[in-house]
Amino acid sequence: MALVRRPRSPWPDLQDMVERLFETTDDSLLRTEEYQDGTTLVVRAEAPGIDPEKDVDISVQNGQLHIQAHREERSEHKEKDSYRSEFHYGSFERTLPLPAGATEDDVTATYADGVLEIRVPVGPELPPSSRKVQVTRG
Say whether 16 sits in a helix, a strand or coil.
Answer: helix
Domains identified in the chain, total number = 1
CA 55 to chain centre: 14
* 5 within a domain of the structure (yes/no): no
At residue 86, the pLDDT reads: 82
CATH classification at residue 49:
2.60.40.790
Range of the domain at 38: 29-121
79 within domain boundaries: yes
Beta bridge partners of 71: 90
Q: Above pLDDT 70, what percent of the chain?
A: 70
Confirm whether 47 is domain-assigned.
Answer: yes
From residue 124, give the alpha-carbon distance in Å to each of 77, 101, 118: 55, 5, 19
14: helix, coil or strand? helix
Do the domain assignments include residue 72? Answer: yes
CA angle 26–99–67, rounded 5-degree value: 40
Residue 49 covered by a domain: yes
What are 61-119's pLDDT values in tens digits?
888 999 998 888 788 888 888 888 887 778 888 899 988 888 888 899 999 998 999 99
- List, for residues 110-125, the tens digit of each pLDDT value: 999 989 999 999 888 7
Give the residues across from 109 on adjacent strands: 118
Task: Kindly state whether residue 43 falls inside one of the protein's structural domains.
Answer: yes
For residue 91, tell me if it sits in a domain: yes
Residue 65 belongs to some domain of the structure = yes
